[in-house]
Structures are given as structure tokens and as C-alpha cells.
């Protein structure tokens, strides 16, 4: 069985919530240069993996998995191969009632200091998840992946390395390898059956300083914005104000 190099949590300029400087095509090109074979485009609150993008990825030797970083009760959940009902679910009980169907559920950056990280909500809904993310934004001396590792071991769930990329250059310092043929259904099955290997190394200071600064600004905006009234929130170019995206910092690999 093939061993596929994967990144199952990424963002691009197609994301309706994030103002990013690179297109989905540029992300696919960058992934191909790093020899990825599976890529999931997981924009916030919307499935953006169109057939056109899937065909573009195929020409570069990449299987594009449809995905979404959904907001469920205000917390982020990565759903791969979600159907329309799963993608629009607003509560964990709705997700539970719908069932897994043909999808896989990943807990992204669960213990990073963001209001949108799952935190204690993860264990309360652990039955819904097939894997826990090991986030790439960490340094040898600092980060927030340790508890994710403990919870994954406690419940027998695989750790999935992802980039959660929000800026270029695109790095492959943390990713996952799956034992599966390059078919969406088989990738989902591999995750649900735990046929996943984590590959990771800490970011160097040079690689991590810019994402770290962005993360610190994110923390400030998140907590400052939570106490701001509606009149203090602004729109840009007529767009609805965006909720803050996930914090990307990191942890020491155990």
C-alpha cells in the first residue's frame, strides 16, 4: 500500500475569512515542489475544493481532498470530505446526530491559546473525532502541542501533522504520512483507522519569527475584539468583519 505525504489543514486566498496573499493554485504548486501527494484545502466555513482545482492538483500529482475548517459552537473543527449537512452543522449535537458518513473529523490546534481552539470541549466531544492535529508552529523551547499528545494517547487517536498554512514560504516541517491509495475515500478510511504517521521537527527561529508575530497580533485582536461592542468593529472594502483565525504557535515534540 502506498505511503502518502499529506497536508490536511491548509488555507489560501479562496478562504472567505482570511485575507491571504497566495491563490489555491500557488499553494498546490508549492505543495508539489515539496513532494506532497495529498492536500486538503480547509477554508473557514466553506468548501472551496472545486473540480477545477482538483484537476489542477491532479496535473501536479496531488490528490485534492475537499475540506472545511468549520465553526461549531464557536470552536474550530476540520472536516475532510464533509457533505453539505455536516459542513453547515452549528452544534456538536448536530454533528453527532448526522454521524461520520464519508467524512473524517480532526481537532485542529486544540490547546493553542485562541478562543476558537477546542480546549476542554475536545474531551467532552471526543467521540466525534478521528484524529488530533499536531500543529507545525512550534519551537524547540516553546509551544502548545504537549496536551494534544497526551489526549491523543489517552483516547487512542492518531496525531496528524499539518501546516495550517496562512503565509508563504510554505514549509513541510510538520506533516503526516498515510497508508492509503491516492483516493479520497481511502484517505478518509486511513485516518479513521489510524494508519497515520506523524513527521515533525521544530521550526527554526528564522522560519517561525514571522508566524509568531502574526500569532501574537492574533491573540491581541481576539481578546481585544471579544470585549468590543458592535460599533467598534469595522468592515474592510464592504466585507463583513471576519472572526479571528486560529493561532499558530507551537510546542516541543515529545
| pLDDT tens digits for range 35-53 | 999 999 999 989 999 999 9
- The pLDDT score that the predictor gives to residue 237 is 29
| pLDDT tens digits for range 134-191 | 999 999 998 899 999 999 999 999 999 999 999 999 999 999 999 999 999 999 999 9
Chain centroid to Cα 118, Å, comes to 13
Task: Please check whether residue 176 is in contact with residue 199, taking contact to mean a CB–CB distance below 8 angstroms.
Answer: yes
Q: Under CATH, which number does the domain 3-200 receive?
A: 3.20.20.140
Q: How far apart are CA 173 and CA 95, in angstroms?
A: 32
> What does the DSSP 8-state code read for residue 164?
-
Task: Please check whether residue 79 is in contact with residue 87, taking contact to mean a CB–CB distance below 8 angstroms.
Answer: yes
Q: How far apart are CA 170 and CA 162, in angstroms?
A: 11
Find cell 479562496 and name the residue. 14
- Selected residue with higher pLDDT from 213 and 98: 98
Tell whether the torsion through CA atoms of 179, 184, 189 and 191 is positive or negative.
Answer: positive
DSSP 188-200: HHHHHTT-EEEEE
**pLDDT, mean of residues 68-97:** 98
Tell me the backbone φ, ψ of residue 228, rounded to 5 degrees: -85, 140
Burial environment of residue 156 by CB neighbours within 10 A (0 to 12, 13 to 18, 19 or more): exposed
* pLDDT averaged over every residue in the chain: 87
Q: How far apart are CA 3 and CA 172, in angstroms?
A: 16
Task: Please check whether residue 162 is in contact with residue 7, taking contact to mean a CB–CB distance below 8 angstroms.
Answer: yes
DSSP 35-88: T-SEEEE--BTS----HHHHHHHHHTT-EEEEEEEEEETTEEEEEES--HHHHH
The backbone region for 71, taken as left when phi is positive above 0, alpha when psi lies in -120 to 50, beta otherwise, is beta
| pLDDT tens digits for range 187-239 | 999 999 999 999 999 998 877 676 666 665 555 655 565 555 443 333 222 33
Q: How far apart are CA 32 and CA 37, in angstroms?
A: 7
Distances from the Cα of 75 to the Cα of 7, 44, 72, 89, 108, angstroms: 21, 11, 5, 12, 10
Q: How far apart are CA 206 and CA 222, in angstroms?
A: 25
Amino acid at each position: 500500500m502506498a505511503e502518502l505525504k499529506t497536508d490536511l489543514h491548509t488555507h489560501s486566498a479562496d478562504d472567505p475569512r482570511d485575507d491571504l496573499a497566495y491563490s489555491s493554485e500557488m499553494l498546490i504548486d508549492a505543495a508539489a515542489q515539496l513532494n506532497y501527494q495529498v492536500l486538503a484545502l480547509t477554508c473557514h466555513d466553506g468548501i472551496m475544493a472545486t473540480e477545477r482545482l482538483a484537476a489542477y492538483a491532479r496535473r501536479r500529482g496531488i490528490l485534492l481532498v475537499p475540506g472545511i475548517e468549520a465553526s461549531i459552537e464557536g470552536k474550530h473543527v476540520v472536516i475532510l470530505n464533509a457533505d453539505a449537512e455536516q459542513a453547515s452543522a452549528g452544534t456538536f449535537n448536530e454533528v453527532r446526530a448526522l454521524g461520520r458518513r464519508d467524512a473524517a473529523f480532526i481537532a485542529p490546534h486544540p490547546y493553542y491559546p485562541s478562543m476558537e481552539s477546542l480546549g476542554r470541549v475536545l474531551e467532552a466531544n471526543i467521540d466525534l473525532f478521528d484524529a488530533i492535529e499536531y500543529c507545525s508552529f512550534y519551537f524547540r523551547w516553546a509551544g502548545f502541542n504537549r496536551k494534544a499528545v497526551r489526549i491523543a494517547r489517552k483516547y487512542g487517536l492518531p496525531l496528524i501533522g499539518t501546516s495550517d498554512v496562512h503565509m508563504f514560504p510554505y514549509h513541510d516541517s510538520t506533516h503526516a504520512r498515510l497508508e492509503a491509495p491516492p483516493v479520497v475515500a481511502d484517505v478518509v478510511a486511513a485516518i479513521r483507522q489510524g494508519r497515520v504517521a506523524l513527521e515533525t521537527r521544530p521550526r527554526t527561529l528564522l522560519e517561525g519569527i514571522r508566524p509568531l508575530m502574526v500569532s501574537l497580533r492574533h491573540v491581541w485582536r481576539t481578546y481585544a475584539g471579544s470585549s468590543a461592542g458592535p460599533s467598534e468593529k469595522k468592515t474592510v472594502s464592504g466585507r463583513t468583519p471576519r472572526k479571528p483565525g486560529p493561532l499558530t504557535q507551537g510546542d516541543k515534540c515529545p
